[in-house]
Structure 1
Amino acid sequence: MARKTTSADRWSALLKTLELDPLWTPRPGGVLDQSESIQAAQPLQATPIGEPGAPMAASMDVADAASKPDTPNRAELIARMDWATLEATVAQCVACPLWETRTQTVFGVGDRQAAWMFVGEAPGAEEDKRGEPFVGRAGKLLDAMLAAMGLHRGENVFISNVLKSRPPNNRDPLGPEVQQCEPYLKRQIALIQPKVIVALGRFAVQSLLHAHTPLSELRGRPHAYEGIPLIVTYHPAYLLRSPLEKRKTLEDLRLAQRVMAQFRDAAE
């Protein structure tokens, strides 16, 4: 009989994927043990995010209007959309100049009733080609990170990006681009109502927390997005370029698991 895969097995596999010493142990104050509790300013509450109004029925007229930058009350229209209208709006969006250079939009993928939501920054070349987030080298690393947490793409996990269109040459997102795409991400979160959000990278953190504090100063403790616990960590693409930061990401993922456990305890 095959031995059941344990949490220790999954973390050992991730250590190998990240090319870290399998005997590595976290620095004091980093990864939380099973016996430790999360030290936060306020206890995390098991209160889901509220939707701004009843979902608007699918409408191509509404999708067409909300896909344009100069539509009055555009953010309010998006904030009431159902999934079908939201996806149609993103697919034809011309709210910023990125529509001129993209191959297709990258809406997001996964379980639309997921407890976990992972938010990246912007699609890359492979994502732009396939229409799915995190499918290149960074995507393989993210999948390994999910597996170490006992998670799998599409199963109780939704993956999205701040930007739904690829910036040319994979440059950093620009402020106006983030502002135009932000209502889409906000509506995705409101529809999913995840229990924990993991923000991957600087632009995801800045968009969700509206903070310009360096990511290194924000990680290591839980934050909140409209009542939802939010964990800050590095983007997988950054980890590929900066392997010395991989240990810190392990600490962040373990923290995310402890936050999820505390949330579930509070909900019982």
Structure 2
Amino acid sequence: MAASEASVQTSFMDPFKDILINYLMPEKCFDEFFLQFNLLHVDCLKIVISKGLGIGIILGSVLVKLPQILKLIGAKSAEGLSFNSILLELFAITGTMAYSIINSFPFSAWGEALFLMIQTVIIGFLIQHYAGKTIKGLGFVVVYLCLLTILISPLAHRDVVTAMQASNMPAIIIGRLIQAGTNHKNGHTGQLSAISVFLLFAGSLARIFTTVQETGDSLMAFTYVISSFCNGVIAAQVLYYWNKTPAHKKKAE
């Protein structure tokens, strides 16, 4: 009788089994949850939460910097954004992406880096474009894409990519300090998008857990700890300067 019930349960879950196993959990956890009804299995819960967060972060990353891009285009200005900070952020994102690819980490553990990279390149171009340096902006895009192609190709040496990932921490810190310094100097956050800043902060916090759970890589995990702290500083500045208006706008008013 028990075997018959198990068979019915298995047949009932078959349409969902492949999807769940491919994206959310290993088969042993599927059995724990849906055959044994052990819904509080700690190890499996960690896996499911981690996978779910990873997928959520990736989906969110598709649009995370879109508010920033739209804000720049709408204002036709990149005031308050530091191009040097963007370069360092791009360096860190690229390092994480290349390091993850070369180590064959699951896409759910690093996929947002791909979408963040695309959006960050666009922001970098817009900063140059609205500064009247469109040709320089195009050159930046071309050079970056060439370097990226080399880094994710078999030509890239593992030691170089690992060193790049290790350099992410100072790159993130310096990049965020540059942006924080720009905000402090200006007395406002300019065209920084609050939505993008807070989403990046939340995403980096969630990535600490998913990285530990899915890769066990302490270097990547510590990178996200540093990233979370630095993103938190910028988020705090956004709140602090919330009602501050650029001086030229005050004069216009």
* TM-score (normalizing by structure 2): 0.25
Larger radius of gyration: 2
Between structures 1 and 2, the one with greater helix share: 2
* TM-score (normalizing by structure 1): 0.24
